[in-house]
Amino acid sequence: MRISVIGCGYLGAVHAAAMADLGHEVIAVDVDAAKVDALAQGKPPFFEPGLPEILSSSLASGRLRFTTDISEVAGASLHFIAVGTPQSENSGAADLRFVHAVIDALIPHLGSADVIVGKSTVPVGTAEALSHRLLAAGSSATLAWNPEFLREGFAIKDTLSPDRLVFGFGEGPGALQARSALRDVYSQAIASGTPVVETDLATAELVKTAANAFLATKISFINAMSEIAEVTGANVTELADAIGYDARIGRKFLNAGVGFGGGCLPKDIRAFSARAQELGLGSSVAFLDEVDAINLRQRERVIARVIADAGGDAAGLRVAVLGLAFKPHSDDVRDSPALDVAQGLLAAGADVVAYDPQAHGPALLRLPKLNLADTLEQVLVGADIAVLVTEWPEFVALDPRVAGDLMAHKRIVDARNVLDADTWRAAGFHYSSLGRP
Ligand code: UDX
C-alpha cells in the first residue's frame, strides 16, 4: 500500500520504518529539516534498539522516503498522523496544536477516497472535532483512529507484533473503506493472530488513555505500598511477588522504586484529568491526581534517602548518579525520575556526577551544568554514595567488590529495587532501597 506518516518522532519514525519493512511504500513527513535529513541517512535522532537496522534496509529498498514537503503525501491514500501531543505549558491539558496543524496542512492534498488514521494520543472527543474540521473544509476524506501502544526500547517489536490492534471508526460513509484499508495495512499481524478491537472513535481514543492511566495507577499503587512497607518493616518486593501470583492482579508493573516518567504516562494522566474536568467529570478520575502525586513523591524520597544515608549533609557530598534516562534501553529524559533526582541533589548542594549509557546528550540539553562520567567505573571513583535510578543491565550486574574499591565510602541507594541486598551488604556496603528493610 502507499501510505504517508506525518510526524517523525519516536512514534512516527518507528511506524514509518516498520510499515516499509512490511512491504508498504511509505512517505514520511516532518517539519524539522534536521530530523528528516538524519532519518534519510538512516540515523535516528534518538536511541531505539533495532531502529537503525530496519531504517537502513527500508531506505535501501526504496520503499521509505523522508521529506519536509507535505505535498508529497498526494501519492498515498492512507495517512497516519503521528505528531506529538505534549503537555500544555500552563496546565495539565494536552496541547493539540500539532494535530490540528497537520489536518490543515493535509487537506489540500487529500483525494476524496483517502483515509486519515490518527495514532497520536489525544483527549477523547478530538477525533470527532477533527472530522468536523475536514467536513467544514469540504474534504470527503475519512478519519479513523488507531492508537499506538509501543513501549520505548521495544518499539519495533511492539509495532510489528502488537498485543492488540484497536480501530475506531466514525459513522460516515467512509467507515467501511477505512476498515478495509486498516485490515490491509496490518494484514500480516492480523494473519498471525493479533486480536483486533473495532469500535467507535471515542472508545479508540479512550482505550489508549485508559491503558496508560491503569499502568500509572499500578505503579503508584505499589509505590504507596512501599511507603507503608518502609514504616512497618515489611518488604514491598515480596509483597508484589505475593499479590502478583493472583492472575487477576499480575506481577507486571508492580516494581516499586523511583516511579514512572517518560513522554507518555505522566503527561497522559494529566491530560486525562484535564479532559475529565472539561467534561464535568473531574471526580471520576480525581484518583489520577493522587497517582501523579505519589509518583512525584518518590523522587523526593530518593533524594532525602541519599542525603540521610550519607550522614544528613548534602553540601559537598560526592554522589554518583547511575542512570539519567526514564528507563533502560532508551535515551529519553522527558519527565525522567533519574534526571530529577540528579537535579534535586545538585540543588541541595551535592557534588553530583552522573553516568548513563545512552542519555548524556539529551540530559545535558535539560541540565547543562551536570557533570558526566564516561564510564560506570569513572562515575564511582571517589563517590561518598551511589544511587541507582535507571535499571540499565550494566548497573544491575555491577560487582559490589569492584564498586567498593572505587568509591570513597561504601554506600548505595537502590532506587529501582534491582540489586541483591545480601550480596551488597556482604561486600561491606551500607545498602538501602525503597520499601525493603
Ligand atoms: C508507556 C506504555 O507502556 C506504552 O504502552 C505507551 O504506548 C507509552 O507509554 P513507555 O513510556 O515507553 O511506554 O514506558 P514503560 O515501559 O511503560 O515504562 C514507563 C515508566 O514506568 C518508566 O519510567 C518505568 O521505569 C516505570 N515503571 C514501569 C516502574 O516504575 N515500575 C514498573 O513496575 C514498571
> What pLDDT digit, counting tens, does each position of 88-122 carry?
999 999 999 999 999 999 999 999 999 999 999 99
Question: Is any atom of ligand 1 closer than 6 Å to the C-beta of 339?
Answer: no
- What pLDDT is attached to residue 172? 84
Q: What is the pLDDT of residue 138?
A: 95
Q: How far is the centre of ligand 1, averaged over its atoms, from the C-alpha of 137 (Å)?
A: 39
pLDDT, mean of residues 132-141: 95
Distance separating the N- and C-terminal Cα atoms of the chain: 57
Percentage of the chain lying above the pLDDT 90 cut:
99
Give pLDDT tens digits for 145-168.
999 999 999 999 999 999 999 999
Q: What pLDDT was estimated at residue 57?
A: 97
Give the nearest ligand 1 atom to 265 CA.
Answer: 9
- Residue type for position 208: K
Report percent pLDDT > 70 for the chain.
100
Separation CA 115–CA 195 (nearest Å): 22
Give the pLDDT confidence of 323-370 residue by residue, as tens digits: 999 999 999 999 999 999 999 999 999 999 999 999 999 999 999 999
Q: Is the dihedral of CA 72, 4, 17, 20 positive or negative?
A: negative
> Could you tell me if the CB of 287 is within 6 A of ligand 1?
no
Is the model's pLDDT at 86 over the cut of 90?
yes
CA separation for the pair 337, 353 (Å, rounded):
16
Cα Rg for the chain, rounded, in angstroms?
Answer: 23
pLDDT computed for residue 437 by the predictor: 87
What is the per-residue pLDDT for 273?
98
Task: Determine if ligand 1 sits within 6 Å of the CB of residue 323.
Answer: no
Nearest atom within ligand 1 for CA of residue 155:
12
Alpha-carbon distance 218 to 340, whole Å?
21
Mean pLDDT of 207-224: 98
Ligand 1 and 325: CB distance under 6 A: no
Pocket test for ligand 1, best of 161, 215, 237, 388 (most atoms within 8 A of CB): 215
pLDDT of the residue at 133: 94
- For residue 108, the model assigns a pLDDT of 96
CA pair distance 425, 224, nearest whole angstrom: 26
Verify whether ligand 1 is closer than 6 Å to residue 215 (CB atom).
Answer: yes
Q: What's residue 127's pLDDT?
A: 97
Q: Ligand 1 center to residue 150 CA distance, Å?
A: 10
Examine the pLDDT at 26 and tell me if it is beyond 90: yes
pTM of the model: 0.96
The pLDDT score that the predictor gives to residue 213 is: 98
Any atom of ligand 1 within 6 Å of the Cβ of 219: yes
pLDDT of residue 190: 98
- The confidence score (pLDDT) of residue 185 equals 98
Q: How confident is the model at residue 222 (pLDDT cuts 50, 70, 90)?
A: very high
Q: How many angstroms separate the alpha carbon of residue 268 from the centre of ligand 1?
A: 12
Contact 292 CB / ligand 1 (< 6 Å): no
The per-residue pLDDT for range 373-394, each reduced to its tens digit, is 999 999 999 999 999 999 999 9
Residue 182 main-chain phi, psi, to 5 deg: -70, -40
Distances (CA, A) of 46 to 34, 35, 113, 157, 307: 13, 10, 35, 17, 33
Name the residue at shortest CA distance from atom 24 of ligand 1: 260
Task: Answer yes or no: is the C-beta of 327 below 6 A from any ligand 1 atom.
Answer: yes
Cell of 218: 499500578
For residue 8, indicate whether it is catalytic: no
- Please pick, among 264, 265, 306, 403, the residue that the annotation labels catalytic: 264
Is the distance from the beta carbon of residue 46 to the nearest atom of ligand 1 less than 6 Å? Answer: no
Nearest CA to ligand 1 atom 31: 255
Q: Read off the pLDDT of residues 176-214 as tens digits, 9 standing for 90 and up.
A: 999 999 999 999 999 999 999 999 999 999 999 999 999
Distance CA 326, CA 76 (A): 36
Give the per-residue pLDDT at 427.
Answer: 98
SS3 sequence, the chain?
A: CEEEEECCCHHHHHHHHHHHHCCCEEEEECCCHHHHHHHHCCCCCCCCCCHHHHHHHHHHHCCEEEECCHHHHHHCCEEEECCCCCECCCCCCECCHHHHHHHHHHHHHCCCCCEEEECCCCCCCHHHHHHHHHHHCCCCCEEEECCCCCCCCCHHHHHHCCCCEEEEECCCCCHHHHHHHHHHHCHHHHHCCCCEEEEEHHHHHHHHHHHHHHHHHHHHHHHHHHHHHHHHCCCHHHHHHHHHCCCCCCCCCCCCCCCCCCCCHHHHHHHHHHHHHHCCCHHHHCHHHHHHHHHHHHHHHHHHHHHHHCCCCCCCCEEEEECCCCCCCCCCCCCCHHHHHHHHHHHCCCEEEEECCCCHHHHHHHCCCCEECCCHHHHHCCCCEEEECCCCHHHHCCCHHHHHHHCCCCEEEECCCCCCHHHHHHCCCEEEECCCC
Which of the listed residues 217, 219, 297, 388 should we mutate to test ligand 1's pocket, taking the one with most ligand atoms within 8 A of CB?
Answer: 219
Q: List, for residues 411-428, the tens digit of each pLDDT value.
A: 999 999 999 999 999 999
> Model confidence at 283, in pLDDT bands (50, 70, 90)?
very high
Q: What is the pLDDT of residues 242-255, one digit of tens each?
A: 999 999 999 999 99
Ligand 1 centre from 152 Cα, in Å?
8
Among protein residues, the one with the nearest Cα to ligand 1's atom 15 is: 151
pLDDT for 84: 96
Residue closest via CA to ligand 1's atom 9 equals 264
Tell how far the Cα of 154 is from the centroid of ligand 1, in angstroms: 11
